Chain A
Amino acid sequence: MKASCRRLTLILLASVAATATFGLAQNAEAGGQVTIGVTETIASYNPYADSISMGYAIWCQVYGCLGFYDYEKGDYVGILVERWEVDKADKNVWTFHLKRGVKRQNDGVEFTSADVIHSVNRINNDPQSKQKQNISPIKDISAVDKYTVKIVTKEPTASLLEYIFDRVIITAKDLYDKHGAREVDRKFPLGWGPYKLKELVIGQRIVLEKDSSHPDAKPKNPDTLIFSIMREAEQRVTALINNEIQIAQFIPPHLAERVSRATNAELLSTSSVEIMFLAMSPKYKPWDNLKLRQAVCYAIDRDLIIKNVLKAQADRLDGPIGPGQYGYDPEYTKKNLTIAYDPAKARELVKASGYNNEPVYLDAPVGRYINDKEVTEAMVPMLNAVGINARLRTPEWATLWADVQKGKTPFYYMGRGSVVDPSVALSQYFETNGSPRIGISDPEIDRTLAAERVAFDPAERKKALNIAFKAIEDAAPGCFMWRHHMLYGLSKTIVHKPNAAGRIFGTEIVVK
C-alpha cells in the first residue's frame, strides 16, 4: 500500500515537472509566434477561389502581389512592381516594370512577367475563380520583356491600380504548367512573398512561416503567423486576455472596456474603409420598384442605430464613401448625397410605389460584421413602421455569401472592404455586368462610372466620382449605412498599427 502511494506521488511529481517544462518551452517558443483571432476564413487552397479582404492579404504575403495602398503615405506602393506609367498618348496602355532578382521561396526561381500574365489568365480561365471582376478592365496583357508587362485596358481606367494591385495574386507559371491547378495549390504553394504557407485547415486556421531570406522579412517580424478562425467575439477577447492570441480582430463595442481593462493588452481603434450597406436587387420583385427602394433608405434611422446598437463606434455614411476615401467631397456630400431619416417621406414613397404588402426578407449574416444581427433586427421594425412588410432571415454565412455572389439574394445587409478608391467597389456592385451581387442595370450609373474611369486628372476625377455617387443614390440599388470603427485588441508583447483596410501583414508586426 505504502509502495503504491509512493509510486503515485512520484508519478504526480513527474507529471507536474513535465507540464512545467513543456509550458516553459511553449512560452519560449511563443516569442516568434503571433496568433491572430480573425472572423473570416479561406474557403479553398486555390488563391483565386474566393474574394474576401483577408484572403487577398494572406495570399499576397505568400505568393506575392503587385503592390498595395499605403495609408500612411496616402499612395500606392509597389511590392513586386518597381514602377509603372500610363501612356500619355493612349490612356489605355499601362506599363509595369517589375522588380528584378526577386527569388521564389525554396527553389529561388526568379519572378518574371510570364508569372504576371499567367496569373491574370488564370483569374480569367480558372473555373473556380471568383475574382474576374478584378481584371474586368483589362483587354490585353503582354510581356514587353522578362521584367516589363504591358496592360491594355478596354477603356481608359484611372483606377486600374485599385483593381489589380493587391487583388491580382501572382502565382508561378512554371509550377502550374508542371503540376496542374489542383496539385500546385495544395502541394506547391510557393511564391515570392515574405511568408510561406505552412498549414491550411479550412475553417480553422492558416499557418504562415517567415521566409527569412526574403528582403522584406525582418528578424523582429514573427517567425510564425497563425490566423485562427474565432467567430465569437467573446472567444477572441478571452483568448487575448489569456495570452493565447496576440491580435484580436473586430472587437464589438460592448467588449471594448474589457480589453481596455486587461493588463496584458491594449485597445486600438482605426477608421475603417469598409462600407456597410443594404442591397436591393431590382431583378426581384418588389425591388424592381424605384420608389420602394428609395423608401427603404429614408426609413432607417441610422443615427439611432449607431448610437444605441453600435455604441457610437461607427460613422454614418452619406453617399457611398466617407472622409479619407478617394473622391470624398464634404460640400458636395452635404448638399447632394445626404439622406436624412424621414419616415413620413418613406411612407409616402411606399404608398406611391403601389407596394402590395407582400413580405420581403432581409438576409443578414450573424457574427460576420460588428453587431450585424442586432443592427438588422433594429432595422426591421423601422421598415414595418413605414409600411414595408419586412422580415429578417439569418442564413449561415457560407450559404448567404454563396447566394449573394450568384445574385440569388434580393435584399441583404453587407459590407464591402478595402474601399480606398471607390471605383472598383461601385463598379462591382452597381455597374451592368459588374458582378451578379445586385444585378442592377442602369444606363445613368454605367455612364457616370465610365466617365470617372476615363478622368485621369485628380480634380476632374473627383468631380466625376461624385456625379456617379449621385447617380447611384438616385437609383437606390443600395442604402449606404455606416463605416465601423475597427477595434483591435493587441497584446503588449507586439507592436502593430492596424490599417483602415483591416489587412494584417506579418512584416508590419514587430515582436518586442
Chain B
Amino acid sequence: MDNSATLEAEVISERRTARSRRLRRALRPWLTPKVIGGGIIVLLLVIGGLSAPWIAPYDPNAQNLSQALRPPDWLFGANVFGTDALGRDILSRLFYGARISLVIAVMVVIISGVVGIALGAISGYFAGTTDFLIQKLVEVVWAFPPLLLAIAIMAFLGQGLENLILALVSQRWITYCRVSRGQALSLRSREFVDAARSLGARHTRIIVRHIMPNLLPSALVIGTFSMASAIISEAALSFLGLGVPPEIPTWGSMLADGRTYISTSWWLALFPGLCIFFTVLGINLLGDGLRDILDPRLKRSGSGIG
C-alpha cells in the first residue's frame, strides 16, 4: 500500500515536472529581451491609455491661461511635466494622447489587416483574372507615396479621427495583401485544400476555414510593424495640421505645437517626442521578437516587413 502510494506520488510529481518543463520549453522562445522589453513598453502604453481618465491629474483640455508655459515641476508639483501655451497640463495630455495613438494604431492594423488578408487570400486562391485585377489595384495604390496619399485624403476629407484612420489604412492593407497572396498561392494546391474541395466545400468555406488561418502568423508580424508606422504617420499628419481636430490631444499635434516654443519652452516638444520614440521602439522590438518566433525564415534571410 505504502509502495503504491509512493509510486503514485512520484508519478504525480514527475507529471508536474514534465508539465512545467513543457511550459518552460514553450515559453522559452518568448522570453527574449526583445519580446520582454517591447512587451513592457506596449503594456505601459496600453495601461496609460486605458486608465487615462483615472490617472491623469487634470482634464487634458482644461485651460488655465494665467499658468501658461510653466516649466516642469518635478518634485510632485502641480504640473510635473509643465504646461503648454494655454496652461494645459502636459502630463494629462500625454496620457490622453496615448489613448489616441493606441486607438489609431489598433484600428489601422485591424482594418488594413482584414482588407489586406481577405483580398490577398482571394487573389491567391482564385489566381487568374481575379488575381490579375487585384494585383493591378495593388500596383496602382502602391504607386503613391504613402504619406502623400494620406495627406491628399486628409486634405480632401478634412480633419477627423475616422478620416485619419481611413487615410492611414489607404495603403497599409497592401503589405498584408501581397504577403497573404503569396502564401495563398502556395496553400491552394496543398493536400488539405484539395481534400476540402473534394468533399464539396465551397470556395468561401475553403478560404475562411482553411486558407486564412494559415495566413495569420505572418499577418501578426506585419501588424506589429504596421502599428508602429501608423503611430509615426499619425504623428506626422498631426504635425502637419492634418490629423485629428485640435481639441483631441495627440502626441503629434503636441509636438507640432511645441516646435514654436522649442527655444524658450523645451518641455512642450520634448515629452511628446520621447513618448513617440519609446512607443515606436517598444512596438518594433515586440514585432522583431514575434517575427523571430513565428517566422524563422525571415530571421534567417534577414528580410524585413513593414
The chain A residues found within 8 Å of chain B, CB to CB, are 232-234, 237-238, 252, 254-255, 257-258, 304-305, 307-309, 366, 371, 373-374, 377-378, 380-381, 391-396, 399
Q: Are B262 and A396 in contact (CB under 8 A)?
A: no
Instruction: Name the contact of B66 in the complex, choosing from A308, A373, A391 (C-beta under 8 A).
Output: A308
Q: Are B68 and A308 in contact (CB under 8 A)?
A: yes
Q: Are B247 and A380 in contact (CB under 8 A)?
A: yes
Q: Is B31 an interface residue (CB 8 A)?
A: no
Q: With the chains together, A308 CA to B83 CA distance in Å? A: 13
Q: Are B246 and A377 in contact (CB under 8 A)?
A: yes
Given contacts A394-B241, A396-B242, contact A378 B158 (CB under 8 A): no
Closest A residue, CB atoms, query B65: A308
Q: Are B259 and A234 in contact (CB under 8 A)?
A: yes
Q: Are A393 and B85 in contact (CB under 8 A)?
A: no
**Which positions 120-158 of chain B face chain A at CB distance < 8 Å?**
155, 158
Given contacts A254-B261, A394-B159, contact A304 B246 (CB under 8 A): no
Q: Are B241 and A234 in contact (CB under 8 A)?
A: no
Q: Is B86 an interface residue (CB 8 A)?
A: yes
Give the chain A neighbours of B257 by CB distance below 8 A: 373
Given contacts A234-B262, A258-B264, A373-B246, contact A395 B159 (CB under 8 A): yes
* Shortest Cβ distance from residue B82 to the other chain A in the assembled complex, whole angstroms: 14
* Apart from A238-B263, A392-B247, A396-B241, 19 more pairs, CB < 8 Å: A234-B259, A234-B262, A237-B263, A254-B264, A257-B264, A258-B264, A309-B65, A309-B85, A371-B85, A374-B85, A377-B86, A377-B246, A378-B63, A378-B86, A393-B158, A394-B159, A395-B158, A395-B159, A399-B155
Q: Are B247 and A233 in contact (CB under 8 A)?
A: no
30 A-B pairs with CB atoms under 8 Å apart are: A233-B260, A234-B259, A234-B262, A234-B263, A237-B263, A252-B260, A254-B69, A254-B85, A254-B260, A255-B264, A257-B264, A258-B263, A304-B65, A308-B65, A308-B68, A308-B87, A366-B241, A373-B246, A377-B86, A378-B63, A381-B63, A392-B245, A393-B159, A393-B245, A394-B159, A394-B246, A395-B159, A395-B241, A396-B155, A396-B241
Q: With the chains together, A11 CA to B91 CA distance in Å? A: 52
* Shortest Cβ distance from residue B255 to the other chain A in the assembled complex, whole angstroms: 13
Give the chain A neighbours of B263 by CB distance below 8 A: 234, 237-238, 255, 258
* Shortest Cβ distance from residue A460 to the other chain B in the assembled complex, whole angstroms: 43
* Shortest Cβ distance from residue B175 to the other chain A in the assembled complex, whole angstroms: 29
Give the chain A neighbours of B240 by CB distance below 8 A: 396
Give the chain A neighbours of B68 by CB distance below 8 A: 308-309
Give the chain A neighbours of B241 by CB distance below 8 A: 366, 394-396
Q: Which A-B residue pairs are the 10 nearest by beta carbons?
A: A308-B65, A392-B246, A374-B85, A366-B241, A254-B264, A394-B241, A394-B246, A308-B68, A377-B86, A381-B63
* Shortest Cβ distance from residue B149 to the other chain A in the assembled complex, whole angstroms: 16
Q: With the chains together, A237 CA to B61 CA distance in Å? A: 30
Q: Are B245 and A391 in contact (CB under 8 A)?
A: yes
Give the chain B neighbours of A258 by CB distance below 8 A: 263-264
Closest A residue, CB atoms, query B154: A396
For this complex, into which size category does the number of interface residues on chain B fall?
A: 20 to 34
Q: With the chains together, A258 CA to B264 CA distance in Å? A: 8
**Which positions 84-110 of chain B face chain A at CB distance < 8 Å?**
85-87
Q: With the chains together, A422 CA to B155 CA distance in Å? A: 35
Give the chain B neighbours of A237 by CB distance below 8 A: 263
Q: With the chains together, A309 CA to B86 CA distance in Å? A: 7
* Shortest Cβ distance from residue A319 to the other chain B in the assembled complex, whole angstroms: 25
Q: With the chains together, A446 CA to B159 CA distance in Å? A: 37
Closest B residue, CB atoms, query A366: B241
Q: With the chains together, A380 CA to B257 CA distance in Å? A: 17
* Shortest Cβ distance from residue A149 to the other chain B in the assembled complex, whole angstroms: 44
Give the chain B neighbours of A305 by CB distance below 8 A: 65
Given contacts A254-B69, A309-B65, A381-B63, contact A232 B85 (CB under 8 A): no
Give the chain A neighbours of B259 by CB distance below 8 A: 232, 234
Give the chain B neighbours of A377 by CB distance below 8 A: 63, 86, 246
Q: With the chains together, A394 CA to B63 CA distance in Å? A: 19
* Shortest Cβ distance from residue A6 to the other chain B in the assembled complex, whole angstroms: 40
Give the chain A neighbours of B242 by CB distance below 8 A: 396
Q: With the chains together, A254 CA to B84 CA distance in Å? A: 12
Give the chain A neighbours of B264 by CB distance below 8 A: 254-255, 257-258
Q: With the chains together, A426 CA to B259 CA distance in Å? A: 36
Closest A residue, CB atoms, query B88: A377
Give the chain B neighbours of A391 by CB distance below 8 A: 245, 247
Closest A residue, CB atoms, query B159: A393
Q: Are A234 and B260 in contact (CB under 8 A)?
A: yes
Closest A residue, CB atoms, query B67: A308
* Shortest Cβ distance from residue A347 to the other chain B in the assembled complex, whole angstroms: 19
**Which positions 251-298 of chain B face chain A at CB distance < 8 Å?**
257, 259-265
Q: With the chains together, A255 CA to B260 CA distance in Å? A: 9
* Shortest Cβ distance from residue A140 to the other chain B in the assembled complex, whole angstroms: 43
Give the chain B neighbours of A307 by CB distance below 8 A: 65
* Shortest Cβ distance from residue A254 to the other chain B in the assembled complex, whole angstroms: 5
Give the chain A neighbours of B265 by CB distance below 8 A: 254
Give the chain B neighbours of A399 by CB distance below 8 A: 155
* Shortest Cβ distance from residue A304 to the other chain B in the assembled complex, whole angstroms: 6
Give the chain B neighbours of A309 by CB distance below 8 A: 65, 68, 85-86
Give the chain B neighbours of A396 by CB distance below 8 A: 155, 240-242
Give the chain A neighbours of B63 by CB distance below 8 A: 377-378, 381
Q: With the chains together, A391 CA to B160 CA distance in Å? A: 12
Closest A residue, CB atoms, query B61: A381
Give the chain B neighbours of A378 by CB distance below 8 A: 63, 65, 86
Give the chain B neighbours of A252 by CB distance below 8 A: 260
Q: Are A232 and B66 in contact (CB under 8 A)?
A: no
Q: With the chains together, A233 CA to B260 CA distance in Å? A: 7
* Shortest Cβ distance from residue A233 to the other chain B in the assembled complex, whole angstroms: 6
Query: Which of B63, B155, B242 counts the most A-chain CB atoms under 10 A from its CB?
Result: B63
Q: With the chains together, A308 CA to B260 CA distance in Å? A: 16
**Which positions 52-66 of chain B face chain A at CB distance < 8 Å?**
61, 63, 65-66
Q: With the chains together, A238 CA to B68 CA distance in Å? A: 24
Query: Which of B65, B242, B261, B262 counts the most A-chain CB atoms under 10 A from its CB?
Result: B65
* Shortest Cβ distance from residue B238 to the other chain A in the assembled complex, whole angstroms: 11
Closest A residue, CB atoms, query B160: A393
* Shortest Cβ distance from residue B263 to the other chain A in the assembled complex, whole angstroms: 6
Give the chain B neighbours of A395 by CB distance below 8 A: 158-159, 241
Closest A residue, CB atoms, query B240: A396
* Shortest Cβ distance from residue B298 to the other chain A in the assembled complex, whole angstroms: 40
Q: With the chains together, A234 CA to B259 CA distance in Å? A: 8
Q: With the chains together, A258 CA to B262 CA distance in Å? A: 12
* Shortest Cβ distance from residue A390 to the other chain B in the assembled complex, whole angstroms: 10
Closest B residue, CB atoms, query A252: B260
Give the chain B neighbours of A308 by CB distance below 8 A: 65-66, 68, 87
Q: With the chains together, A374 CA to B264 CA distance in Å? A: 16
Q: With the chains together, A378 CA to B246 CA distance in Å? A: 11
Give the chain A neighbours of B69 by CB distance below 8 A: 254
Query: Which of A305, A307, A366, A377 counts the most B-chain CB atoms under 10 A from its CB?
Result: A377
Give the chain A neighbours of B86 by CB distance below 8 A: 309, 374, 377-378
Give the chain B neighbours of A257 by CB distance below 8 A: 264
Q: With the chains together, A238 CA to B262 CA distance in Å? A: 11
Query: Which of B87, B240, B247, B260 counts the most A-chain CB atoms under 10 A from its CB?
Result: B260
